[in-house]
Every structure is written in C-alpha cells, then in structure tokens.
Amino acid sequence: MTSPRAVSRRSTLPLGFFLFLNLAFLLAPASRAQTKDQKRSEAQLRTLHGSVINKSEDPVPSSIVYLKNVKSQSIKTYIADSSGNYKFSGLDPNVDYELHAETQDLMSSTHTISSFDSRRDIEVILKLNHKKEPSK
C-alpha cells in the first residue's frame, strides 16, 4: 500500500502544472505587446543618407561627414565610401541634427535635420564649396 505522503504529492503535481500553464498564457500577450512596441519604435527611427560632391558635382570619396545631435551635442562621423556615399541609421525622430562634410581644405554648408521633418528616410547631398577655416 502507498503511504499518504506519496498520494498527496501526486495530487498536487497536476495542480502545480495547471497553475504554471495559466501563468504562461497570462504573460504571453504582455511579451507580444512589448515586442510590438519595440518594433513600432524601431520603425519610427530615421535614416539619413546621401553623397558628398565637389563643385564639379563629382563624388568625393573618403571625405568625413559629421552628424551632430543638437540635444546632446554628441557627434558621429562617417567616412564616405569610394562613391562618396554616406549613411547614418537609427536616428531619433525627436531630435534635431546638424550635418556637414569636410575634406582636406574644403567643407560643405551645414544642413539642419529638424525633428519636425516627418520623413523617415532623408537624403542630403553635401557639396564641398567652402574653404575650411584654419584651426586656432
């Protein structure tokens, strides 16, 4: 004959398993909602791309593109590829940015990317047409 302890252990096992399954089903929608929110915020991030050209509108490879976050004052750089192209992705749509390019003794005008600009994919052509000011 089985002991009373063995019977009570067997009877609580299905109850514990049932409670575990209910908890898993209750938490599953919350994790799906969080994943949807993450995807939604990622979908709202912006991409900024374009090319760096000279006065003759030829691409300028290896020029340095500067992207300044106006809110935090942090600066990201990108070295243009062999076709003069650059790309910044994952940009916060609620922040203003300033963008310009430099190479040797030339620089482009500074372009402002406004947080009020609702485009998610922004293209800016940077034309090197100003002499760089000498460093002090």
For 92, list phi and psi in degrees, rounded to 5.
Answer: -70, 125
pLDDT at 21: 60
Which H or E element spans position 12?
helix 4-44
Residue type at position 82: S
Residue 44 — pLDDT band, cuts 50, 70, 90? confident
pTM for the model: 0.68
Residue % of the chain over a pLDDT of 90? 61
- Dist CA 61 CA 104 (whole Å): 12
Highest mean pLDDT of the ranges 11-15, 17-21, 45-49 = 45-49
Residue % of the chain over a pLDDT of 70? 66
CB 101 within 8 A of CB 52: yes
What 3-state DSSP class applies to 76? strand
Q: Name which of 31-40, 63-72, 114-123 the model is least confident about.
A: 31-40
For 103, list phi and psi in degrees, rounded to 5.
Answer: -155, 135
Burial class (CB in 10 A: 0-12, 13-18, 19+), 69: middle
* pLDDT per position as a tens digit, 2-14: 555 555 555 555 6
Whether 38 shows a pLDDT value over 80: the answer reads: no
Tell me the helix, strand and coil percentages in the chain, rounded to 5.
30, 40, 30
**Beta-strand pair 97-103/75-79:** unpaired
pLDDT at 12: 58
pLDDT at 130: 84
**What's the mean pLDDT in 37-62?**
84
pLDDT at 86: 98
